[in-house]
Structure 1
Amino acid sequence: MTDELRGLLRESAEAHQPDRARMLARVERGTARPGTARRSRDRERTRALSWPRIVLATLATAGTLTASALMVVDVDAVHDPDPPRSPSAVGRAVPPTAAGSRTEDGPLGADGSVDPHSNAYWAQSNVTLKAGEPLTALVVELRIALTEGVKDTGNWRTRPAADFDLSARQEGGFLVYRWTLKPGRTVPAGEHVFAGQYDHATGGRDAKDDTYRIDATAGAAERGAAVWGGFA
């Protein structure tokens, strides 16, 4: 029994004023008819016991509802929205297009071109990175539209291969090459080339839908920069 219920019972007992006349009458009835008096006492006892049970049930229900409400509030309070993506994140919803080129951003610049040694069956697309300061983070992405016959045949870069993680796969209608600088490695200031090689259908291939993008962190201030463009 809780302290609150004990208090309620105590207050009820203190407020009760015994009726002397009724008590005497009850004694007389009990002497005359013991069975009747016993049943009366049983009913009184049942009513006395029922009242605390009702109070306890009510308090328990209220406690359950309160606990449920606190649980709902607690869940809503600890739920945080997804963290914002980094400005240099490579998983972009909409890839850049040649028409929306931005080839310079602070210390970062770039240029896209189809290598002059490409031929009627095979081609190489070059992304030339121009860094005005050392880069401590870098992602270079080259996207080749999957026109007829396009198939990966290799890639290369002027920086050491061991400095980068490389992936080459088809994504959303493009052959995508992605070079990611490994943690702890740097790219010095200067010009650096990243190239993707691929077969294509016989004849001249139009590179108007091909694009590139570079995301980098430059200099001691770790300034983020991004450039993109096309090969038209």
Structure 2
Amino acid sequence: MSGPRRDVDEELRARLRAAAGEHRPDRARILARVERGMAAGNRGPTRVRLPGWVRVAGATVAVAGVLVAGGYTVASAVRDDAPARRPVAAPPGSRETGSRETGSRESGSRESGPVWSSGAVDPHSNEFWAQSNVTLGTGTPLTSLTVELRVAQTGSVTSTGAWRSLPEDDFTFTLDERDGFLVYRWTLKEGRTVPAGEWMFAGQYNHERGGRDAGGDRYSAAATAASGSLAVRGGFTPDG
């Protein structure tokens, strides 16, 4: 902007700043008028005469609107503040949702009294490595427990570790290879107890490259509770 238009704009800004700086609103007088207007509400609409400074502010807005319509840009009539931020609206219907992992291969769960179980190939398994999960649930404390996981030797199957969600010191762990299976076994130590709840026992292993068929894998669990001896067993659905 340059020339006469710029001079007019700068002069307008100067006058508006001067008018705003000189005005001292009578707050008490304004509040009194508002109260009188509210009290007269039952007698029909009352026209309240606005104080001079309000009319000046209204005129300022009107002039600013004219300048914008005429192609001018009024950054700030009274102060040089940055424009307020506009909230960013999310697209209609969008919202955050929790993700859920899929892809595990799980056998049908089997129950024995207060004990239930299921077997699944962990969804984080890949073309070189896998983890087989045995989930054991009990509605009553167990005073003895032995969990056995048998992973079929489908080619280059070698153990890479094992774990359980119960305390490690409560169990004796053994790993063997016999009859074409890699055998993981967890045995509860004497004097220890498995509390009611849902627990996991997992065996990890490498295998030949590519999808491994878990159809030959098996698991079993034998336990003792106050009600007597309990046993569950199951398998794993084929990989893929």
Do the two structures share a fold, i.e. TM-score over 0.5? Answer: yes
Q: For residue 176 of structure 2, what is the aligned residue in structure 1?
A: 169
Given candidates 223, 228, 236, the residue that maps to 1:231 is 236
Given candidates 111, 114, 122, the residue that maps to 1:107 is 114
SS in 1 for 2:187: strand
SS in 1 for 2:194: coil
Alpha-carbon separation, structure 2, partners of 1:102 and 1:191: 13
Alpha-carbon separation, structure 1, partners of 2:200 and 2:123: 14
TM-score, normalized by length of structure 2?
0.53
Following superposition of structure 1 onto structure 2, how do residues 1-232 of structure 1 map, counting pairs within 5 Å?
A: 103-218=110-225, 220-221=226-227, 223-232=228-237
SS in 2 for 1:162: helix
Aligned-pair distance for 1:168? 0.6
Render the CA deviation track for 1:5-30: whole Å, top value 9, x for unaligned: xxxxxxxxxxxxxxxxxxxxxxxxxx
Indicate conservation of the 8 Å contact 2:147/2:186, yes or no. Answer: yes
SS in 2 for 1:135: coil
Render the CA deviation track for 1:107-140: whole Å, top value 9, x for unaligned: 1110000000000000000000010100000000
Alpha-carbon separation, structure 2, partners of 1:225 and 1:160: 21
Runs of 5+ consecutive residues of structure 1 not aligned to the other structure: 1-97
Render the CA deviation track for 1:188-213: whole Å, top value 9, x for unaligned: 00100000000000000000000000
Bigger relative contact order (CA 8 A; separation at least 6): 1
Percent identity reads 58
Alpha-carbon separation, structure 1, partners of 2:151 and 2:123: 17
Aligned-pair distance for 1:102? 7.6
Between Structure 1 and Structure 2, the one with more helix by share is 1
Alpha-carbon separation, structure 2, partners of 1:182 and 1:174: 25
Q: How many residues matched?
A: 132
Moved over 2 A (4+): none
Alpha-carbon separation, structure 1, partners of 2:168 and 2:181: 23
Which amino acid is 2:132 matched to? S
Q: For residue 16 of structure 2, what is the aligned residue in structure 1?
A: none
SS in 2 for 1:188: coil
Alpha-carbon separation, structure 1, partners of 2:178 and 2:220: 15
Indicate conservation of the 8 Å contact 2:109/2:118, yes or no. Answer: no
CA RMSD of aligned residues (A): 1.7
Which amino acid is 2:134 matched to? V
Alpha-carbon separation, structure 1, partners of 2:119 and 2:170: 22
Runs of 5+ consecutive residues of structure 2 not aligned to the other structure: 1-105
Indicate conservation of the 8 Å contact 1:102/1:228, yes or no. Answer: no
